[in-house]
Structure 1
């Protein structure tokens, strides 16, 4: 009897243990990844899972000189800082070299820098950089990508572990996608404007490499995608894990272990830059209309106002004789005249430039008087190709899920470059001009839309969040701190003193920002 009783007791304990394990697994499945993995480091572009959210961290809220721990000079580049243990890593261009740098978190001291092997330089947009891709780091290695070379892997002391030379994709602006990790893999998207041999299909592809050796593990072609600038994410949901890639016109999902295609959703524009975000129930992806328009129906008046400085004789018209450099058709009226991203690209050759100006003039000069009136411009203004889109897709589909698994979509308040940030069922979107929109993640309805006056102009940095606050950085170098929640509330703003176009990084008590010339640490005192 005693033996039987003991056996029954053992069986009961085993059953209770199994129930507890199942209960824990069930509860864990309900917790978003950013909450379930509080200890995750800021080890890739936009931190854990590409979410931009640092759960459990408390960086300072009132950013300023009082909490500036250090400020150190860095070479130019558009990659964002990433963090691992006591180190910070980033990439840069320096005197024609492509370099990877490591800094000490506590002091900002540069620990080492390594140059990539020399190869033909990638052609990039005037506003871009050959060091635009953010590194990937784990406890053993740091992996960087340069479009001009390929992948390089170092240990944390700067010793090269392997390198992988990769042909440079042909793109409109230069490569900007960043590597991500999945288990023992490094995954990269190489979207390309070149065609496959004897085909009109693209030679774009997504490739997984062995993290320890750099050897290719799998490769999947993306024949309907042209150049894109988004970085993929791993979406963990109730049915498993998807590798989600936003590209030209489509959101695609693959099996991250094998590269096998799973599903896709359409409706996105040619210009895909933002990183998708996700919770257990949905993945959310966004793209503006090509040229940066964030609303489906664009107001042409700001575009007209942006070229009025060319009206030299102040007669309210833009005459052909007034269309002198840096005149062009405006794409992004919030940018200053002469900025490389302001308008339609113009040839450097004077004759070809004049020919292009004549062509642009013809768009609105319907009465053939060699001038634009405001009435002509506004009446003839047309939205650029595609439409702005924010889409929510639920898991479980296969093939084209646009109509079957898209829970909702929105066509207003969509940023061109910054990625969305998801926090507690609210999606935050920061647009050029400092327009912040909060959208309900469950139904896509607008909660609020507010213009932050200190953030006027271009915004290229993606928002990051921690401890109930959003950190928003404008390209002209002002950071605004806004409380999360259903009501807009700006807490603080601060001028960094120089331009900043990269996404900040966060750890337990610090915010790290790369400006045009410096890497800065703002730290909350313990």
Structure 2
């Protein structure tokens, strides 16, 4: 081989080594950033757990409150944290009337007193300094009259955003999908059209992203579908119709044996889609209606639950293929004590969940399904909508009336602290470093010693 070719190969090897090292350093930095942030619904690993956070044990309105900020409008989306920035979505009623829409008094009577708006709402992304609560920027991504109303416990901003390190994907359901950079510049937007949810309860499924692809699940009373978009451009990669009615569970991304599975919990079937092409990897029946809890996984099984007008929990092998309903690919099933709105949490080898929206807790061995703590009353709490979170050997359970009960992560029930705030909480808590972020109906709290 000539000297010039040797020099060329050496140069290629050096450049390639630098490129690889740079990629490895970038990936390492990204992993560190993700481990100390809360970049999606349910946190770093989509299971409600932070392996690095050191949150406080106790607080009140006059103890361990670093800052408290009123948030205009209404939203149940969980705050999202990346680095020193916190992002929160809200929908603000401008009170500006669209004369083409019927006034609430002129509308037919609907379940739960739900009315369809006849005023324009601003759909807002807020970026705050997570240390101080000071506003860094605010972006109104749209101003529209929503196509339907929502249940009194829901909002027009209930889908938590997703951050991939450079972009934030904000999904306001029928009011549009918006991609911004972390400085608040709108990069692209996409209108996927309106949906009609069961009894006009409203929307609430959060977006997820993986390897440059953005996944949106849209189960409703019309033609349901799952849609995968190019995260950089918003262009559609594939879409698949779904035989489902309204559901509110966020998809779970799991990589198993070289296949990236998109697992969606729903009433007719739990389905696993191949992220590459949308083909069905496996599916399983057995859930009940109005499915809301998001699945969690330990890398071997996925744990799916529902708890409205019935009760179902099951552990499904990630090695499954085809329709596994009623087969031994289901390691175990339970038919009582499962959640309606809150998602389960898998922490330190134990699986915890609440009964319906009630303050009743169950703990099971996820490998065997053996019930270790059976339907135990959580004291001083009326109801849960927010999902449990965990760190430092503790589980944090935030009730709707402002209380957070902290228990020891153990099959023996032990309350470590009970904390009270003067707000109403339907969003899930966020744990980052030494702080807890709690979004109430009126205020956003940063709690830390």
TM-score norm. by structure 1 comes to: 0.71
Select 2:81's aligned residue among 52, 64, 83.
Answer: 83
Partner of 1:447: 372
CA positional deviation for 1:141: 1.1
1:257 and 2:283 are equivalent in the alignment: no
CA positional deviation for 1:145: 0.7
Q: Name the CA shift for 1:476/1:48 in 2 (closer, same or farther; >3 Å).
A: same
Query: Does the 8 A contact of 2:33 with 2:82 survive in 1?
Result: no
Query: Does the 8 A contact of 2:260 with 2:276 survive in 1?
Result: no
1:219 and 2:239 are equivalent in the alignment: yes
CA positional deviation for 1:167: 0.5
Q: Which consecutive aligned stretches of 4+ in structure 1 deviate over 4 angstroms post-superposition?
A: 35-38
1:119 and 2:144 are equivalent in the alignment: yes
CA positional deviation for 1:269: 1.0
CA distance in 2, matches of 1:464, 1:244: 21
CA distance in 1, matches of 2:129, 2:75: 19
Summarize deviations over 1:230-254 as a string: whole Å, max 9, x none. Answer: 0011123356431100112211001
Query: Does the 8 A contact of 2:35 with 2:44 survive in 1?
Result: no
CA distance in 2, matches of 1:430, 1:45: 18
Partner of 2:26: none
1:128 and 2:154 are equivalent in the alignment: yes
**Larger fraction in helix:** 1
Select 1:43's aligned residue among 30, 39, 42.
Answer: 39
CA positional deviation for 1:118: 2.8
CA distance in 2, matches of 1:50, 1:38: 11
Summarize deviations over 1:2-21 as a string: whole Å, max 9, x none. Answer: xxxxxxxxxxxxxxxxxxxx
Q: Name the CA shift for 1:84/1:489 in 2 (closer, same or farther; >3 Å).
A: same
Select 1:59's aligned residue among 47, 55, 60.
Answer: 55
Q: Name the CA shift for 1:39/1:461 in 2 (closer, same or farther; >3 Å).
A: same
CA distance in 2, matches of 1:72, 1:56: 25
Report the 3-state secondary structure (helix = DSSP H, G, I; strand = E; otherwise coil) of the residue aligned with 1:209. Answer: strand
Q: What pairs up with 1:26-425 in 2 under 5 angstroms?
A: 39=35, 41-64=37-60, 65-75=62-72, 76-95=74-93, 96-123=121-148, 124-172=150-198, 173-194=201-222, 203-222=223-242, 224-238=243-257, 240-290=259-309, 387-404=310-327, 405-425=329-349
Summarize deviations over 1:158-210 as a string: whole Å, max 9, x none. Answer: 1111100110111111110000011101100011211xxxxxxxx21111111
CA positional deviation for 1:104: 0.5
CA distance in 2, matches of 1:208, 1:153: 14
Query: Does the 8 A contact of 1:285 with 1:392 survive in 2?
Result: yes
CA distance in 1, matches of 2:391, 2:33: 14
Query: Does the 8 A contact of 1:38 with 1:56 survive in 2?
Result: no
TM-score norm. by structure 2 comes to: 0.82
CA positional deviation for 1:117: 2.2
CA distance in 1, matches of 2:333, 2:287: 11
Report the 3-state secondary structure (helix = DSSP H, G, I; strand = E; otherwise coil) of the residue aligned with 2:417. Answer: strand
- The higher radius of gyration belongs to 1
Partner of 1:381: none
Query: Does the 8 A contact of 2:359 with 2:377 survive in 1?
Result: yes
Query: Does the 8 A contact of 2:227 with 2:239 survive in 1?
Result: yes
1:505 and 2:430 are equivalent in the alignment: yes
Q: Name the CA shift for 1:289/1:433 in 2 (closer, same or farther; >3 Å).
A: closer
CA positional deviation for 1:521: 0.7
Summarize deviations over 1:245-281 as a string: whole Å, max 9, x none. Answer: 0112211001122221111110111210000000121
CA distance in 2, matches of 1:218, 1:451: 45
Q: What pairs up with 1:427-466 in 2 under 5 angstroms?
A: 427-431=351-355, 432-449=357-374, 450-456=376-382, 458-466=383-391
CA distance in 2, matches of 1:465, 1:233: 19
Considering only aligned residues, what root-mean-square deviation do their CA atoms show, in Å?
1.7
CA distance in 2, matches of 1:398, 1:415: 27
CA distance in 2, matches of 1:109, 1:37: 22
**Larger fraction in strand:** 2
Q: Name the CA shift for 1:40/1:108 in 2 (closer, same or farther; >3 Å).
A: closer
Q: Name the CA shift for 1:509/1:84 in 2 (closer, same or farther; >3 Å).
A: same
Query: Does the 8 A contact of 2:219 with 2:244 survive in 1?
Result: yes
Report the 3-state secondary structure (helix = DSSP H, G, I; strand = E; otherwise coil) of the residue aligned with 2:419. Answer: strand
